[in-house]
Amino acid sequence: RKEVEQDPGPFNVPEGATVAFNCTYSNSASQSFFWYRQDCRKEPKLLMSVYSSGNEDGRFTAQLNRASQYISLLIRDSKLSDSATYLCVVNNDKIIFGKGTRLHILP
């Protein structure tokens, strides 16, 4: 099993729809988790941290499932500007980025 694994996509989703994707990790001792977004030819930018209790920021909800060792990102009411690659990051004293999930929001 890869250390951090994401479905590369692309996910082609109509504007206004809800989309969710997961990221699985192999090391059960992993301690902190993040979602970043990366636009084409730009740097990764922090979208949100992922807490055990789950967290929500506007249209975005992140959840952690330690038992099944995955984190998830839910985007509601998707906008054209949400089109990007979404990277999950897992830290267990070693920082590992997933390869990213590409999301295309269609008008």
Cα dihedral 23, 88, 31, 74, rounded to 10, equals -60
Please state, in angstroms and rounded to a whole number, the distance separating the CA atoms of residues 77 and 41. Answer: 25
Instruction: Identify which of residues 2 and 14 has a Cβ nearer to another protein in the complex.
Output: 2
- Binding residues with another protein: total (CB under 8 A): 19
Q: Report, in Å, the least distance between residue 43 CB and another protein.
A: 4
Q: Is 21 in the site for another protein (CB under 8 A)?
A: no
DSSP assigned state of 53 = T
Site string for another protein, 28-67 (x = CB under 8 A): ---xx-x-------xxxxx--x------------------
Instruction: Identify which of residues 24 and 85 has a Cβ nearer to another protein in the complex.
Output: 85
Q: Report, in Å, the least distance between residue 16 CB and another protein.
A: 27
Binding region for another protein (CB under 8 A): 31-32, 34, 42-46, 49, 85, 87, 91, 93-97, 99-100
